[in-house]
Structure 1
Amino acid sequence: MGHFDESGLESTAGELRGRGIDVLRLGYSDLIGTERGRDILLNRFAQTVGDGVAFCRSVYATTPTGDVVPIDGGLADGLPDVVAFPDLSTVREVPWEPGVAHCIADVFNPDGTPSEESPRNVLRRVVAAFDELGMTPMVGPELEFYVLQRDADAASGWSRYGEATGNVYVAGRKGDPENFLLRSLRHLDNYDIDAVAANHEFASGQFEINLWHSEALDAADRAFLFKSAVKELARQEDKLATFMAKPFNDEGGSGFHLHFSAWKDGRPAFDDPHGGHGLSDVGRSAVAGVLAHAPALAALANPTVNSYKRFGPDTLAPWLVDWGLDNRSAMVRIPPERGRASRLELRLGDATANPYLVIAGLLASAYLGIRDELVVPPPLEGYGYDTSKAEMLPQNLGAALDALEADTEFATLLGPKFVRTFLDYKRDEVERFSRWVTDWEFREYAYHL
């Protein structure tokens, strides 16, 4: 970090102005994946960002309700700054906001060192570990979400958009009566984030949009932009898009599945026609690493109190630490393709997960498995959810956070300062929830006790 080359900034600004752009939106991820940022007029772009754009460090630890959680280097130190610099390779026009372009920022401490709390920097640390193995991790994200419409009669003020049964895996107005999904898919295509397909999911108002695979940091960038974009597109139509893990008692949750492979010397590192199940030793050790570190990984893949209400038998959400061959009831599924398409699919994550952190967690666990040459147990046979066959995942956020703290190898790879900050932030969430009186408690007790 340092003073940005003003000629490069002016060149970028001039190019954008030539395309009718007058504002650049500089954005970055906080701990929970919310985009924080600033709109910058291009006629002041070089002066504004040349020395970085300052933000209060505690924005990392600002809760969805606006509370500021005490973290290391935050409130107790007088709320100092971090400094954001644009990664000009990520500039793209925003199709639904005429005259606006978007750029992802990298975040630094004032002394010029990378901010350890920055989720993008956390992922970079883990990718660097794969560099030492001579491997390039590739990731393909799949995200589910609900779209809600205003409803004055609903307690929350919202109800599911397009309420109807039996619309799983349909396209068109049958499950999307106003074509919201189709319009969004076209906008995302013009946003250049490699969205490839969309469909209605199992539940009313639930949809999935798939993103193409790419190198891990790029995949995380695109998933981060995707989540922000879908929420913005819904707001434009007075709707609410939510990636909440399980927003309804009577419908299933929303997942964040990750397809992961590694490449070495131009070849798929997980493929071996002569290996067990057509997987190489490296591929099987990667699976073993994910299983070994799954309890800690859950803290990043399932990072909210609500996340653990998505789990359970017959939910198609993982409940046990297991893997299977083309088995969607397993936590780690090995799709049937081999050769260049050899990969594992992590089905653990829910849609609330921060893309940078869940991908960093997946890579960290796989890296440790590969480094330590871990041996994978036999795959799941038949339908999962049998607790006699495999260890259960953490069943609440507190247990997952304890597992993350206890898994020192995993935590060290992610970065000790990041892990301390994440634990402080999330334990505050658990404590606040434990003190909150819920609708369930009132219904259960108020009239009878």
Structure 2
Amino acid sequence: MSHRPSPPAPDPPPPARLDALRAGLTDEGVDLVRVLWSDLHGVARGKEIHLDELHRFEDPGLSFCQAVMVTDLAGNPLELPESSGGGWPDAHARIDAGTLTLPGWAPGTAFVLADVLEAAPGHPPLALDPRGLLRRQTERLAARGLRAVAAPELEFYLLAPDPSAPLGWRRYTTFDTAGYTVGASHDPDRMLPLLLRSCRALGLGVQGGNQEFSGGQFEINHTHGPALAAADRAFLFKYAVKEIAAVHGLRATFLGKPFGEAAGSGHHVHLSLVDDGGTNVFADPADDGGLSALGRSFLAGVLEHAPALTAVLNPTVNAYKRLAAPGSLAPTTADWGWDNRTAYVRIPPERGDGTRLEIRVADGAANPYLVIGALLAAGLDGVERGLRPPPPLAPGSTGGGPPLPATFREALDALAASSALARLLGPRFTEVFTAMKRAELARFERAVTDWEFREYTGML
């Protein structure tokens, strides 16, 4: 995959006034604006606003109940100051007019992203806003004259309705192809071309895609770009894939291991840093491997924080079934290697402007803002401390570094114990994220699974 750095960014234009935005959208036949923001899980939350009313939400933005930011995936809000403990207070979603886009499958509707702010005087950024967390990391880099370039690779399954299947859904196709296949024989409704064209038209920077290892599974690659823009595109991409699938009577899931007998879905991220002149600072032609001292320090920071990062990059009980699957190419140790797809961090073979790290551990269900933000926080910590990585994996080796947490509980414990990463991500974010996920884990541990019923009731 090409990974050329972007040219130096010009000074940002002044924020677009929403009344000016309204005039342009009227010319496009738009009468509704869907304002979207990310919760901690990466789920798109939002409101639809009539275009004629949009100007009312210039500043500080749309009001909404802050409790949605501390609510689990089953709809249970934690009892915190952000919810019941504070009297169910408001937050504000401030529209970022520069993210406006028009989805082809939703006529008359525009999409726009928002930053989440506190309702307190001055409206500071909400500590639990994933987009804000990533923005803080890019600001840390900017203070050093650096910008992050990122390119996600996202895998997912399409599901078709089937009354005879568990919960009424089966894989869209069931023949395992081992990947890199395209065409109608394994995509009868030609969903991949539809997704590629729709997401490209939406301005999401999709580069290409293919049917992945297992039937019904797909991978779509994204072009590289500035870290915040790349995360914005990945967030909207996941939302768009689910929306387009629903319009066609299907369901899309980015869950890491939705089927025990099929391959897991990952969220690989390619990362590099460039200076103010657009030069890739991970590149060093004088180095034997072509990787600069700064690039090696960034790599070392990611590896040092790998145990604590696991909870953010693999944020569900289900994620650890993907990591434990034999032959899954999902790493279980914190290591790195030259063009080695079994490693936690792979250094792809391109050098010069294309020098980059590919971090391969993240789960498809992970929040794109938190994935990129946490990796930047860890890598920059390595740069600031001048860390050095261990030796790379030997050619053909399949692991050898410190083991990663094997369960969600271990990962949450590692995150809670990491005062350094908590400081970088924000203590309040880490506290709430960990509490929410511990509550999720506790609910799982009380649940009786289908496996238990099948395994035990016939004989016991």
Tell me which interval the TM-score lies in, with the shorter structure as reference length: over 0.9
TM-aligned CA deviation for residue 391 of structure 1: 1.4
Partner of 1:298 in structure 2?
Answer: 310
Aligned partner of 1:34 among 43, 52, 56: 43
Q: Is the 8 A contact 2:16 2:98 kept in 1?
A: no
1:269 aligns with 2:281: yes
Classify 1:383/1:430 alpha carbon distance in 2 versus 1 (closer, same or farther; 3 Å): farther
Give structure 1 regions of 4+ aligned residues with deviation exceeding 6 angstroms. Answer: none
TM-aligned CA deviation for residue 300 of structure 1: 0.8
Instruction: Output the CA distance in 2 between the equivalents of 1:397 and 1:355.
Output: 19
Instruction: Output the CA distance in 1 between the equivalents of 2:227 and 2:57.
Output: 30
1:79 aligns with 2:88: yes
Partner of 1:369 in structure 2?
Answer: 382
Instruction: Output the CA distance in 2 between the equivalents of 1:126 and 1:332.
Output: 20
Deviates more, 1:275-284 or 1:115-124: 275-284
Aligned partner of 1:157 among 151, 165, 168: 168
Q: Is the 8 A contact 2:333 2:403 kept in 1?
A: yes
Instruction: Output the CA distance in 1 between the equivalents of 2:15 and 2:60.
Output: 10
5 Å matches for 1:80-229? 80-111=89-120, 112-166=123-177, 168-229=179-240
Partner of 1:282 in structure 2?
Answer: 294
Instruction: Output the CA distance in 1 between the equivalents of 2:15 and 2:99.
Output: 18
Which string of whole-angstrom CA distances, capped at 9 and with x for unpartnered residues, describes residues 55-81 of structure 1? 111101222222222234321111111
Partner of 2:53 in structure 1?
Answer: 44
1:421 aligns with 2:432: yes
Structure 1: any 5+ residue segments left out of the alignment?
none
SS of residue in 1 equivalent to 2:382? helix
TM-aligned CA deviation for residue 52 of structure 1: 1.6
Instruction: Output the CA distance in 1 between the equivalents of 2:248 and 2:73.
Output: 22
Instruction: Output the CA distance in 2 between the equivalents of 1:430 and 1:49.
Output: 39
Classify 1:441/1:110 alpha carbon distance in 2 versus 1 (closer, same or farther; 3 Å): same
Partner of 1:405 in structure 2?
Answer: 416
Q: Is the 8 A contact 2:70 2:82 kept in 1?
A: no
Q: Is the 8 A contact 1:32 1:354 kept in 2?
A: yes
Instruction: Output the CA distance in 2 between the equivalents of 1:72 and 1:220.
Output: 28
Partner of 2:456 in structure 1?
Answer: 445
Instruction: Output the CA distance in 1 between the equivalents of 2:276 and 2:283.
Output: 13
Residue identity opposite 1:85 in structure 2 = R
Structure 2: any 5+ residue segments left out of the alignment?
1-13
Which string of whole-angstrom CA distances, capped at 9 and with x for unpartnered residues, describes residues 215-274 of structure 1? 111110000000000000000011010000100110110000000000014211100011
Instruction: Output the CA distance in 2 between the equivalents of 1:162 and 1:348.
Output: 26
Deviates more, 1:277-286 or 1:309-318: 309-318
Instruction: Output the CA distance in 2 between the equivalents of 1:142 and 1:177.
Output: 23
Residue identity opposite 1:179 in structure 2 = R
Q: Is the 8 A contact 1:319 1:385 kept in 2?
A: no
Instruction: Output the CA distance in 2 between the equivalents of 1:71 and 1:359.
Output: 27
Give the CA RMSD over aligned residues.
1.5
Identity %: 44
Q: Is the 8 A contact 2:258 2:264 kept in 1?
A: yes
Q: Is the 8 A contact 1:272 1:280 kept in 2?
A: yes
Q: Is the 8 A contact 1:271 1:279 kept in 2?
A: yes
Q: Is the 8 A contact 1:71 1:424 kept in 2?
A: no
Deviates more, 1:305-314 or 1:143-152: 305-314
Aligned partner of 1:59 among 60, 64, 68: 68
Which string of whole-angstrom CA distances, capped at 9 and with x for unpartnered residues, describes residues 85-139 of structure 1? 1000001111110010000011100121110000001111111111122110110
Instruction: Output the CA distance in 1 between the equivalents of 2:347 and 2:440.
Output: 34
Q: Is the 8 A contact 2:271 2:358 kept in 1?
A: yes
TM-aligned CA deviation for residue 7 of structure 1: 8.5
Partner of 1:354 in structure 2?
Answer: 367
Which string of whole-angstrom CA distances, capped at 9 and with x for unpartnered residues, describes residues 289-346 of structure 1? 1110001111111000000000134211111111000000101000000000000000
Deviates more, 1:238-247 or 1:374-383: 374-383
Partner of 2:5 in structure 1?
Answer: none
Q: Is the 8 A contact 1:329 1:383 kept in 2?
A: no
TM-aligned CA deviation for residue 24 of structure 1: 0.6
Residue identity opposite 2:231 in structure 1 = A
1:69 aligns with 2:81: no
Which string of whole-angstrom CA distances, capped at 9 and with x for unpartnered residues, describes residues 386-423 of structure 1? 5xx22111011111111111111111111111111101
SS of residue in 2 equivalent to 1:421? helix
Instruction: Output the CA distance in 2 between the equivalents of 1:35 and 1:94.
Output: 15
Residue identity opposite 1:311 in structure 2 = L
Q: Is the 8 A contact 2:80 2:86 kept in 1?
A: no
SS of residue in 1 equivalent to 2:401? coil
TM-aligned CA deviation for residue 49 of structure 1: 4.4
Instruction: Output the CA distance in 1 between the equivalents of 2:434 and 2:17.
Output: 39
1:24 aligns with 2:33: yes
Q: Is the 8 A contact 1:71 1:425 kept in 2?
A: no
SS of residue in 2 equivalent to 1:310? helix
Q: Is the 8 A contact 1:142 1:257 kept in 2?
A: yes
Aligned length, in residue pairs: 443
Partner of 1:318 in structure 2?
Answer: 331
Partner of 2:245 in structure 1?
Answer: 234
1:243 aligns with 2:254: yes
Residue identity opposite 1:243 in structure 2 = F
